[in-house]
Chain A
Amino acid sequence: MNRQIRGLGIGLAVLFIALFVQLNWLQVVDAKRLNDNPGNSRAVVRDFVQPRGAIQTSDGVVIAESTPTNDDFQRQRSYPEGALFGHLTGYFSFTYGTDGVERTYNDALTGRDQKFRLDRLSDILLQKEHSANVTLSVSKALQQVATQALGQRKGAVVALDPRTGAILAMADYPADDPNPLAGHNQAAVRDAWTALNSDPAKPLLPRSYRERYFPGSSFKVVTASTGLATGTATVSQPVYPFVSQIALPQTTQPLQNFGGEVCGGPMPEALRVSCNTSFAQLGLDIGADKLAAGAQSFGFTKTPPIDLPFAQPSTFPTAAELAHDKPALAKSAIGQQDVAATPLQMALVAAGIANDGVVMTPHVMAEVRDSEGRVVQTYEPKAWTTAVPPDVAHTVRDMMVGVVKGGTGTLAQIPGVTVAGKTGTAQTGRDTSHTWFVSFAPAEDPKVAVAVIVEDQPNVNEATGGTVAAPIAKAVMQAALAGP
């Protein structure tokens, strides 16, 4: 029988060799094709189930964290502060991907960007977790102040440190609570997503850096700066005529001041009362090339390199578009026509003036720490764009101080602190106006710059627009300066 038994042994060995070949085929040769198979949600899940670090505020409040679960996904992402930081953290959703800091710092949170990553089995033994925690420059304290000051009015508040570009607060209303999108019940997640998307108030839209509005008179800061920088005007010359409207070239339609108000004077006076006719004239005097270049030097038409996804560039017409369209040039100079700015961009305009003319790159990340608490990355401030020379910035700053001292922005005054600011009121064509306030403080040593927009305010004009937005900016600046 031994012959047969040997044969049986060989037969069984052949079967096992076939198994070995098949395993090599599946796990090595064909593995990539199987992993890339569109029906294979395992790869998506694999990314999804990786350990993921927490996101916390500069004052140590956890705003995104993962806790173990017993289901397929192994971890549940949760956002303890809900909508308060909804647009900053973004969401981490199996069905809808990621947004916000969850998206931009995905590699840091999962530890994928760490250089000395060992592979799989061995890294579990030697270095069990390489996910990292991201600390933001935003504090919960200031975020709360901004959110409460804005209240339930559609709009946005952006506060940043003009010296470093660090975002200190970034509040939108409405903002969504990301928790429902991070759920593991896909049907419930889809329902939540559909509801958020069909909401006309657009709670998923981070207005602060993705929505563009007519900047209106707040843009006059840019026009004033460009006028000074190009030598088109000084603080004393020209003296703009006191009129209620001016005739524009190429059209019979005159450009009017709000409510037919009569205003004029030298640039500081015109800025103090936000005189449209004076700034329209200044714009015409500067000319298309230089005004477009001036807007660009503040960052208009460029996407702010902020570490948040899908930031929108603010728009300003090209020099060519304005060269032969004088009415458009005049209206662009007062922030109308085709000018549109994100709240972030307007905060950067204020910050540029505050920081001696240099606009710093805006950012929300302060530092990244590994799971042991060691700092692996610290944000290094860098300049984004040079808006104006320092002397021009100082001049504009003084004019903006005038606006708050005795102009349209008096409601932003803070006792004991010199505040520089500029109001803006942009008509929406719906019998309402978007009201703006851009500001920074203290004027002599700026530590915080703030832009506020409140949408669709009824019954406001250039003089009264400041009453809506300026107090919000004031509250945020006051809290930021009181600081921890």
Chain B
Amino acid sequence: MIANTALRDSVVFRSRRNTELGLIILAALLTAAGYTLASLGRSATLPVDIVPFLGVILALLAVAHVATRRLAPGANGIMLPLAGLLNGIGYVFIARLDKDLAALQALWTALGIVAFVATLVLVRRVRDLERFRYTFALVGIGLLLMPLLPVVGRNINGSRLWIRAGTVTFQPGELAKIVLCIFFASYLVEKRELLSEARHRVGAMFVPNFKYFGPVALAWAVSLLIMTAERDLGSSLLFFTLFIAMLWVATGRGAYLAIGGVMFAGGAFLAWRSFGHVQDRVTIWINPWKTAGGTGYQIVQALFAFAAGGLAGTNIAQGSPQRIPAVSTDFIFAAIGEELGLLGTTAIVIAFLLLVATGIRIALRAEPPFEKLLAAGLTTILGVQAFVIIGGVTRLVPLTGITLPFVSYGGSSLLANYALLALLLRISHDQGEREQAEARALTETRA
């Protein structure tokens, strides 16, 4: 009987992994197809290195796949292939835009896979993370502040987000998001009873005790601080949204959303009043055409790129996205829009939507509150970040420089997002194991 259930467990888990493997092969083939199109578009010849190229992608994803098979066999099977696909398409475009960056991006992808495996190896149980809550808080704040340090801190494009060691620059803020998300999740899970107690009545609404507003105020202050010191609108927006969303998920108090909204508006207004670069962003967003030759150039060129792409795109390497500044990083989505058209951009948006939906599903299925909240938070990071940058380059919202997860060039971003993915898969696997155990217990009781 026991042998039977063990067999059934492994059958369920194995089918998840086999799905993953099949999808990984599909993602690798799609990436190789994109790479071939880019070569055809550029020189009307097939790429000479297509076989080794396909081999490398498959090898990289296979490493991640074998790691999940060994370390988290019960995890959801579609997230890793989706990430691999986004990473692959991103690589094809980076290679098409800048050969030197592509070589680095390949290296960073390999390191991202290492980070993925390492996360799975180090985090054997999600709940273990709870114990190091304050360590994470410190590490997170430390990472955020690192770029402000002398010697290692670097200013790039007017933002102080980077640290440098030797020739390698790194954006510690990318990792800080995850680390702080873990801290928020464990802190809020512990305090959620207190935070959700309604003691005061404001109008028709019961609001929680003011003394528990501390965390919200802290998040608000921290994001404003980042914005001020590092001029990183994107990250501060992401932090603030993340924290409010997690607070609300943890407590179920709509009041936090309302207060968060008010504070967001207040913070935004303050930032707009105080900082020239924030004003610029808003002015450009409202009317980029007025300054199309100056500050609005980047977004206007991006809009032209999307329009030039139309429905089916110009095909890879047939458009001219090089005219958009920072096209390999923040604006890579505009390059995809020009050369793969609406079909391509829709595919990317759907891939993110699937990632987010899967993340939400993992959060819903997880039983321990900490894991639920952590999954929700990590999913929020992924979803909001994708929205902020895609919305920014399409002029849906004001532009805040931030990378498109898995797609943009950027080592820190890739590393962080693969680690994020590993955490979500770990949560998914833990839940899978629990369900299997319950099923087993049920069968045994019956027997």
Interface residues of A (CB under 8 A from B): 1-9, 11-13, 15-16, 18-20, 22-24, 26-28, 30-35, 37, 39-40, 42-43, 45-46, 49, 51, 68, 72, 74, 119-121, 124-125, 128-129
Residues of A within 8 A of B315 (CB): 120-121, 124
In Å, the complex CA distance between A188 and B314 comes to: 30
Residues of B within 8 A of A16 (CB): 349, 352-353, 356, 383, 387
- B319-355 residues with Cβ-Cβ distance < 8 A to A are 319-320, 322-323, 337, 341-342, 345-346, 349, 352-353
Q: Cβ of B360 and Cβ of A12 under 8 Å apart?
A: yes
Q: Cβ of B307 and Cβ of A35 under 8 Å apart?
A: yes
Q: Cβ of A27 and Cβ of B337 under 8 Å apart?
A: yes
Residue of B293, B311, B313 with highest tally of chain A CB at under 10 A: B311
Residue of chain A at shortest CB distance from B251: A4
Question: Could you write out 7 A-B pairs with CB less than 8 Å apart?
Answer: A8-B249, A12-B384, A26-B306, A26-B337, A46-B308, A124-B37, A124-B315
Residues of A within 8 A of B303 (CB): 26, 34
In Å, the complex CA distance between A22 and B394 comes to: 7
Residues of B within 8 A of A12 (CB): 356, 360, 379-380, 383-384, 387
User: Knowing that A12-B379, A68-B42, A124-B37 are A-B contacts, what are 19 other residue pairs whose CB atoms are under 8 Å apart, sorted by A's residue number?
Assistant: A4-B252, A5-B249, A5-B364, A8-B249, A12-B380, A12-B387, A15-B391, A18-B396, A20-B349, A22-B394, A22-B395, A23-B342, A27-B311, A33-B307, A34-B303, A42-B301, A42-B304, A68-B43, A121-B315
Contact of B337 among A7, A9, A23, A120 (CB under 8 A): A23
In Å, the complex CA distance between A128 and B346 comes to: 26
Q: Cβ of A119 and Cβ of B312 under 8 Å apart?
A: yes
Q: Cβ of B304 and Cβ of A2 under 8 Å apart?
A: no
Residues of A within 8 A of B252 (CB): 1, 3-4
Residues of B within 8 A of A27 (CB): 306-307, 309-311, 337, 341-342, 345
Q: Cβ of A128 and Cβ of B379 under 8 Å apart?
A: no
Residues of B within 8 A of A33 (CB): 307
Cβ of B424 within 8 Å of any chain A Cβ, yes or no, is no
Q: Cβ of A5 and Cβ of B360 under 8 Å apart?
A: yes
In Å, the complex CA distance between A139 and B277 comes to: 63
Q: Cβ of A19 and Cβ of B41 under 8 Å apart?
A: no
Q: Cβ of A19 and Cβ of B320 under 8 Å apart?
A: no
A16-B349, A18-B391 known; A28-B310 Cβ under 8 A: yes
Residues of B within 8 A of A121 (CB): 37, 312-313, 315
Contact of B346 among A23, A30, A129 (CB under 8 A): A23
Residues of A within 8 A of B249 (CB): 1, 4-5, 8
In Å, the complex CA distance between A186 and B53 comes to: 38
Contact of A15 among B43, B292, B383 (CB under 8 A): B383
Chain B nearest CB from A41 CB (Å) reads 9
Cβ of B376 within 8 Å of any chain A Cβ, yes or no, is yes
Residue of B307, B322, B356 with highest tally of chain A CB at under 10 A: B307
In Å, the complex CA distance between A12 and B387 comes to: 9
Residues of A within 8 A of B275 (CB): none
Contact of B387 among A15, A24, A30 (CB under 8 A): A15
Q: Cβ of B391 and Cβ of A22 under 8 Å apart?
A: yes
Q: Cβ of B380 and Cβ of A8 under 8 Å apart?
A: yes
Residues of B within 8 A of A8 (CB): 245, 248-249, 360, 363, 376, 379-380
In Å, the complex CA distance between A19 and B364 comes to: 25
Residues of B within 8 A of A74 (CB): 320
A5-B364, A23-B337 known; A120-B314 Cβ under 8 A: yes
Residues of B within 8 A of A20 (CB): 346, 349
Residues of B within 8 A of A6 (CB): 360, 364
Q: Cβ of A42 and Cβ of B363 under 8 Å apart?
A: no
Cβ of B305 within 8 Å of any chain A Cβ, yes or no, is yes
Residues of A within 8 A of B372 (CB): 1-2, 5
Cβ of B289 within 8 Å of any chain A Cβ, yes or no, is yes
Chain B nearest CB from A165 CB (Å) reads 36
Chain B nearest CB from A15 CB (Å) reads 4
Cβ of B267 within 8 Å of any chain A Cβ, yes or no, is no
Residue of chain A at shortest CB distance from B337: A27
Residues of A within 8 A of B342 (CB): 23-24, 27-28
In Å, the complex CA distance between A120 and B346 comes to: 18
Residues of A within 8 A of B447 (CB): none
A5-B372, A19-B387, A19-B396 known; A37-B304 Cβ under 8 A: yes
In Å, the complex CA distance between A3 and B252 comes to: 8
Cβ of B40 within 8 Å of any chain A Cβ, yes or no, is yes
In Å, the complex CA distance between A33 and B306 comes to: 12
Chain B nearest CB from A255 CB (Å) reads 64
Residues of B within 8 A of A128 (CB): 40, 44
Cβ of B369 within 8 Å of any chain A Cβ, yes or no, is yes
Residue of A3, A11, A121 with highest tally of chain B CB at under 10 A: A121
Cβ of B390 within 8 Å of any chain A Cβ, yes or no, is yes
Chain B nearest CB from A185 CB (Å) reads 16
Residues of B within 8 A of A9 (CB): 356-357, 360
Residues of B within 8 A of A34 (CB): 303-304, 306-307
Residues of A within 8 A of B207 (CB): none
Cβ of B250 within 8 Å of any chain A Cβ, yes or no, is yes
Q: Cβ of B307 and Cβ of A30 under 8 Å apart?
A: yes
Residues of B within 8 A of A32 (CB): 307
Chain A nearest CB from B435 CB (Å) reads 16
Q: Cβ of B364 and Cβ of A2 under 8 Å apart?
A: yes
Cβ of B300 within 8 Å of any chain A Cβ, yes or no, is yes
Cβ of B145 within 8 Å of any chain A Cβ, yes or no, is no
Cβ of B373 within 8 Å of any chain A Cβ, yes or no, is yes
Residues of B within 8 A of A23 (CB): 306, 337, 342, 345-346, 349, 394
Residues of B within 8 A of A18 (CB): 391, 396
Q: Cβ of A31 and Cβ of B379 under 8 Å apart?
A: no
Chain A nearest CB from B65 CB (Å) reads 27
Residues of A within 8 A of B323 (CB): 42, 72
Cβ of B159 within 8 Å of any chain A Cβ, yes or no, is no
Residues of A within 8 A of B387 (CB): 12, 15-16, 19
Q: Cβ of A5 and Cβ of B363 under 8 Å apart?
A: yes
Q: Cβ of A40 and Cβ of B310 under 8 Å apart?
A: no
In Å, the complex CA distance between A40 and B289 comes to: 11
Chain A nearest CB from B10 CB (Å) reads 29
Residue of chain A at shortest CB distance from B373: A1
In Å, the complex CA distance between A8 and B257 comes to: 12
In Å, the complex CA distance between A19 and B342 comes to: 12
Residues of A within 8 A of B390 (CB): 19
Residues of B within 8 A of A13 (CB): 353, 356-357
In Å, the complex CA distance between A40 and B300 comes to: 9
A5-B363, A5-B376, A124-B40 known; A26-B312 Cβ under 8 A: no
Mask, B35-68, CB within 8 Å of A = 1, is 0010011111000000000000000000000000
In Å, the complex CA distance between A7 and B253 comes to: 12
In Å, the complex CA distance between A248 and B395 comes to: 80
Cβ of B119 within 8 Å of any chain A Cβ, yes or no, is no
Q: Cβ of A124 and Cβ of B41 under 8 Å apart?
A: yes
Residue of chain B at shortest CB distance from A4: B249
Residue of chain B at shortest CB distance from A74: B320
Contact of A40 among B304, B363, B391 (CB under 8 A): B304
Cβ of B318 within 8 Å of any chain A Cβ, yes or no, is yes
Chain A nearest CB from B333 CB (Å) reads 10
In Å, the complex CA distance between A121 and B312 comes to: 7
A1-B372, A16-B353 known; A22-B396 Cβ under 8 A: yes
- B268-319 residues with Cβ-Cβ distance < 8 A to A are 289, 292-293, 300-301, 303-315, 318-319
In Å, the complex CA distance between A46 and B320 comes to: 8
Residues of B within 8 A of A46 (CB): 308, 314, 319-320
Q: Cβ of B369 and Cβ of A1 under 8 Å apart?
A: yes
